[in-house]
Chain A
Amino acid sequence: MTARGTPSRFLQSVLHNGVGRYVCQLKRISLIFSKKGQGSLGVRDFIEEGVVDFAKNNSGTVVYISPQSCRIPKIVAEYLNGNVKEETVTNKTSQEIAELITKLSNQSGLDIIRIRKPFHTDSPSIQGQWHPFTNRPLSIDPVGPQAK
């Protein structure tokens, strides 16, 4: 749809992350898959090979593995700001799931919507924001065109 019809936000970080120390924003990741279904094959392979390394490298994230009888395997990622993101991983390979999980762990939990400006600053002006009275000579008389 148009930019006005879809939600948008400004570039921001949760709790000024990175100014002090960097805190990984992913707090919990749950792998929901089926033990026998063919859509969960990639998830099962990932659990055999890659999940333990991921958990060791990201010690701030809790990894939950829950085999259930489900038709579609899911990855549920919960972030520190409370957002929950669910991705279905039916028929994905183990490599793709690994990339998806690294992508989820690098995101902050903020919504993936249009970002209005790709920059943000907390101190937009050093010498003072310009206004029409800057650099004009002082006078009590009402404002008029300056004599050159």
Chain B
Amino acid sequence: MAACRALVSRAVLPLHYHHVCRGVMLTHIREKKRWMKAYTLIMERKRKMEGPPPPKPRSQQPNFDYHAEVEAFSARLQESFSLELLKTAFVNVCYLRSEEERRRALGLDLETTTLNLKDNGELCVHGQQFTKAFLSDWCRGSFPSLPQEGVAAIVGHLTGSEVMCHVARNLAVEDLTMSAEFPVPDEILQGTFFAVIGALEQSSGSVRAGLFIRDFLVTQLIVKDLFDMWKVVDPMGLLVKELTCKGIALPEPRLIRSAGASTVLPLYFVGLYSDRKLLAQGPGETVLAAEEEAARVALRKLYGFTENRRPWDYTAPHEQLQKPSAQALTSE
């Protein structure tokens, strides 16, 4: 060590000595390295101090070719997008702004280096309108007795940022999105996905875009319950309104079964009878809770949103919503 210190103090190291930091001097020898343990411990301490590295977007990691990825995106979904529209759909306004600021900060001349990219604002608005219209039509077609607030609640849930971002992340839209920050914020990702749908509609037409929305957004309804998406505060009042509109007698609640009334987990079944025929029955811990649950079960039956309803048929091309055309549409 004294010899090493003498070497360091001379500030000229011979060939196989390498000064890493204050406690570690690397020597290039063939045998077991004496410096390895100290070096590893110092790197571990540094890593623990700094914490995990910030996530990097996939485009900045090795092996990423944007054009190939965009083509593969289009082929994977079995859709033929027009590539310029699709590439425009992925460019966000925040990305353009941050790029221009970066170029200005680097001192580049603005005239020669203007970005030739258009952002996806129009496509996003277009896609959003199309998606909402398509989903509302679909809802009204498959649940004809569902009222307007119910349809709006379902469409709002499906086009809300949770569901859209979940679908977008699992379709690799996040890899291709060009945005200022990483990880891409939810609203920007949702906007990009709307823009992709808009680009699809403009490239392949509304039928194909409708099939795309059906295959990726409508499937997200599969295990969902109606009242998870539509917050109804007073189900009994809504049920009374529905029945008066239909002209059926108003529901009378009756206690059907009870068990364990004096225990810590009582169970009551309340049935709703209209004109002495059972509409629905529901369980609950108190009689009031059971009545509310029975009203919800009755509403689900009325609107046709029960758990055991016939699943939507995804094999047939959706002729119910469009006029059945003479040409045969290939089924998806």
Contacts and interface: CB of A to CB of B under 8 A. Distances in A.
Interface stretch (A36-44, A59-67, A91-99): A59-67
Nearest to B278: A138
Nearest to B259: A143
A40 to B, nearest CB: 17
A131 B167 CA distance: 36
Given A14-B170, A125-B308, A19 B222 contact: yes
Contacts of A2: none
Q: State the majority secondary structure of interface residues on A.
A: loop
A146 interface: no
Interface string B293-332: 0000000000000011001001000000000000000001
Given A82-B169, A125-B307, A143-B259, A20 B215 contact: yes
Interface residues of A, number: 34
Nearest to A128: B308
B273 to A, nearest CB: 11
Contacts of A81: 170
A28 B65 CA distance: 11
B6 interface: no
B255 interface: yes
Given A19-B314, A20-B332, A27-B172, A140 B77 contact: no
A140 B258 contact: yes
A28 B314 CA distance: 28
Nearest to B166: A15
A24 B255 contact: no
Interface string A87-129: 0000000000000000000000000000000000011011110
A106 to B, nearest CB: 15
Residue among A20, A23, A80, A127 facing the most chain B CB atoms (10 A cut-off): A20
B113 interface: no
Interface stretch (B68-76, B117-125, B127-135): B68-76
Contact of A24 (B76, B167, B222, B307): B76
Given A127-B308, A133-B269, A140-B258, A62 B68 contact: yes
B332 A21 contact: yes
B219 to A, nearest CB: 4
Nearest to A14: B170
A24 B78 CA distance: 10
B115 to A, nearest CB: 25
A145 interface: no
B75 A60 contact: yes
B172 A139 contact: no
B316 to A, nearest CB: 12
Top 5 A-B residue pairs of the complex, sorted by shortest distance between their CB atoms: A20-B215, A60-B76, A59-B75, A16-B219, A64-B63
Interface of B: 62-63, 65, 68-69, 71-73, 75-78, 166-167, 169-172, 175, 211, 214-216, 218-220, 222-223, 255-259, 261, 269, 271, 307-308, 311, 314, 332
16 contacts: A15-B167, A15-B171, A16-B219, A16-B220, A16-B222, A20-B219, A23-B77, A24-B76, A60-B72, A66-B62, A80-B171, A81-B170, A128-B308, A136-B257, A142-B261, A143-B257
